[in-house]
Amino acid sequence: MAEYEVRFDSHPEPIRVPAGTLLVEVAKQAGIEIQQPCGGQGRCGRCAVKVESGQVRRRSVLRLSKSDIDAGYALACQTVIEGDASITVPPPEAIQRRLTTDHIAPEAAIPEGYDASSAQSIRRVEIRLTPPSMDDQTDDWGRLCAAFRRETGVERLNASLDQIRQLGAILRSSDWHVALTFDASPKGEARLIRVQPADEAADAPLYGLAIDIGTTTVTVWIVDLLTGQVIRQSGEYNQQIARGEDVISRIIYAGKGDGAAELREMVLGSINGQIQTACERTKIATDDIVKATITGNSTMMVLLLGIPAESIRLEPFIAPINHVPRLSAIEVGIAMNSAGVVDPLPGVASYVGADITAGVLSSELRSSDDLTLFIDVGTNGEIVLGSSEWLVTCACSAGPAFEGAGVVHGMRADAGAIEEVWIDGGTYEPDCRVIGNVPPRGICGSGLISLVAEMFLTGLLDKGGNINETLDTPRVRQGHNGPEYVVAWAAESEGEEDIVIARVDIDNLLRAKAAIYAGFNVLADSVGVPLETAERVLIGGSFGKYINVEKAVQIGLLPDMPWERFNFLGNTSVKGAYLALIDSAARDEIAEIASAMTYIELSADNTFYEAFTSALFLPHTDLSRFPSVEAAMA
C-alpha cells in the first residue's frame, strides 16, 4: 500500500503512514492528542484541524460549514490521508470559537455615508434676536418663535412651561444671542429642548440613548449625536425579573395593588442605573443627553410607560397602544435632560412589539427580494417571514426553557452554565463546555438544545423524547422527576447535587421548540410558500449568540437548511433603536414596517395546533423535512 508523509505544525519530523490512515491516528503517532468529545463520530466538530496543503479525503463534513471547508478545515476523526499533507492543529479554544461564535455580526457601525447634520432630528440653531423696545413690544416667547421660524422655516415651536419660565432670564443674560437645541420631528413642528447663551453652546456636545427593554435584559447604548458614534454599550438584567420571568406573570403582577408602579420603578432602575454609571465613566453630563429611542416587546413598553397592560393577556389580546407619540424625558422618567425627547418605537400587536419592527429594520430583511425568515427567540419566539415586498408575522409562547428557566437544573447563560454538550456514542459519557471555564452550576438554553440533540443522536432519547432506560450506563437512572440523565456528577460541579436533565425538562423543551417550528409553518402556509424556499434565516436576540445551528436543527427547532443561509445578528432590537436614533429616515421606515406587517394571531389559527402536535417529536413526525438529521442518524 502506498505510504505518505504528513507534517504537523507542532512536530518537527514528518510521519509516514499508509494511505487511508485517519488523521487522528497520524496525530497520535506524532504524539499530538486531538480531543474527541463525541468519540470520533463526526458529530461534535471539536477535532477540526486545518489542512494547509496536500491530499486528504473528508468522509464526513456534517459539523463543518462551507466556509470552514473552504478555509481548509477537516474533522480529524473523519478524514483520511490520500497523499502527502501538511496539517495545523489549532488550540482547542480556537476551535470552539470558530465553530460557535464567529458568525455573530459586529455591533452597529455608523452607516456608510452618514451625515448627522441632515439625518438627525435633533438640531441646534443660533439666533440673534432684536431686543425689545418701547416701539417693539413683542413678548419674549413670541419674539423667539418668530426668529426661529425665520431661521429654520419650521412653523411651530413647542415648549414646556418650565422652559418658558426660564426663557426671559436666558435671553437677557445672553444679550439676546442664544442657541436653541430642538427636535425637528414631526415635520413642520419642533420641540424645544434647550435654550442656552450662544457662546456656551458653541462646543456643547449632544448625546442620545438607544434603549432596548428585554424581558430579561435591558440594553443601553450612549451615542454621540453629532457624529453617530456609539460611545458606550451596556446591558443589565431587567430588575422586573424579581416579579416574574415572563410577560404574562408581569402583567398579572402589575394588576395587583401598586404592582404597576413597582414594575415601572424597577425597569427605570435598570435603565437609569446604566445611564448613571455610563455618565460617570465617560464624564458625560445627563443634561447633554437630549434624545432616546426605546424598543421592547409590547408588554415591556407599556409597563415602562405606566399604561395598564391587562388587555394584552386577555382575549382578544389587544395592545393598549402600538404607536406611542414622542414624549418628554420627564414624563417617562429617564435620567437625561428633562426636556429631552423620548421616542418609543412602534410595534404591531400585543406580542409583536417594537423590538421586532426595529429588528426587521436593522436586519435589513427588506433590502432583498429573497424570501427571508427573521426570528427573535427569547421567552417568546417572534417570527417574521417576508421580503422587500411583504411581511407576515406571528408570536409563539415558547416559555422560558430557552432562557434556562422552567428546567430543573436550568440557568441563564452566565458563568457556570453548561452551554454545549457532546456525548460519546459508545460510552454515553458527556463532555461539556461551560461558560467561564469553571465547574458547572446548571444548564443554559443553548446547553439544553445541545444536550437534547446529542441524547437523541446517541440513542439516549427516542423520537418521542423518552429516555432509554435499558442502556448500560450509570448516567441513566430514576430520579425525583422520573427517568433522568446525569450531565455532571456533584463531585465535578459547583453545587452539591448531580446536574441532571429529566423527562419533564425534555418535555418543556419539546413544547417550546414545537411552538416555534409550528409558527414557521403557519406563516409559510399563510402565504402559500414552502418553508424550505427561504433564502435567508436571520436570527436576532441574545439567544442567537450562543445557539449551535446544527443542534437546533437536530431537535427540530430551526428548519433544515444549508448553514450558509443562517445569519446571526446579535441584538437586532437595540441596533434598530440606534439607527432610528441617528437617522429620521430609519425611524420613518420602522413606522412603515409596523404598518406593513400582517399579524397572525396563532391562538385563532386552527392550523397551528396541528403543526404544533407534529413538531412535538425529535426532530419532527415527518423526518423527510430534516434530511441532514436523517443523515446524521444513519
Q: Is 148 within 8 Å of 157 (Cβ atoms)?
A: yes
Residues of this chain that interact with ligand FES (CB under 6 A) are 36-38, 40, 42-47, 63, 75, 77
d(CA 465, CA 75): 29
d(CA 45, CA 563): 14
51/251 with CB nearer ligand FES: 51
75/516 with CB nearer ligand FES: 75
Torsion angles phi and psi, residue 487, rounded to 5 = -85, -35
**CB of 286 vs ligand FES, minimal distance in Å:** 52
**CB of 226 vs ligand FES, minimal distance in Å:** 51
Q: Is 196 within 8 Å of 179 (Cβ atoms)?
A: yes
**CB of 78 vs ligand FES, minimal distance in Å:** 6
**CB of 42 vs ligand FES, minimal distance in Å:** 5
25/265 with CB nearer ligand FES: 25
Looking only at the bridges linking them, the beta strands covering 207-213 and 289-296 are parallel
d(CA 156, CA 164): 15
d(CA 384, CA 402): 19
**CB of 47 vs ligand FES, minimal distance in Å:** 3
Torsion angles phi and psi, residue 232, rounded to 5 = -160, 140
**CB of 457 vs ligand FES, minimal distance in Å:** 11
22/358 with CB nearer ligand FES: 22
**CB of 466 vs ligand FES, minimal distance in Å:** 25
Query: Could you count the other beta carbons within 10 Å of the beta carbon of residue 258?
Result: 10
Closest among 222, 211, 220, 218 to 236, alpha carbons compared: 218
* 559 preceded by a cis bond (ω within 30 of 0): no
Contact residues for 167 (Cβ-Cβ < 8 A; gap 6+): 140, 141, 144, 159, 195
Looking only at the bridges linking them, the beta strands covering 189-197 and 156-158 are parallel
**CB of 626 vs ligand FES, minimal distance in Å:** 20
77/552 with CB nearer ligand FES: 77
Q: Is 329 within 8 Å of 272 (Cβ atoms)?
A: no
42/399 with CB nearer ligand FES: 42
d(CA 12, CA 22): 20
42/404 with CB nearer ligand FES: 42
238/458 with CB nearer ligand FES: 458
* 316 preceded by a cis bond (ω within 30 of 0): yes
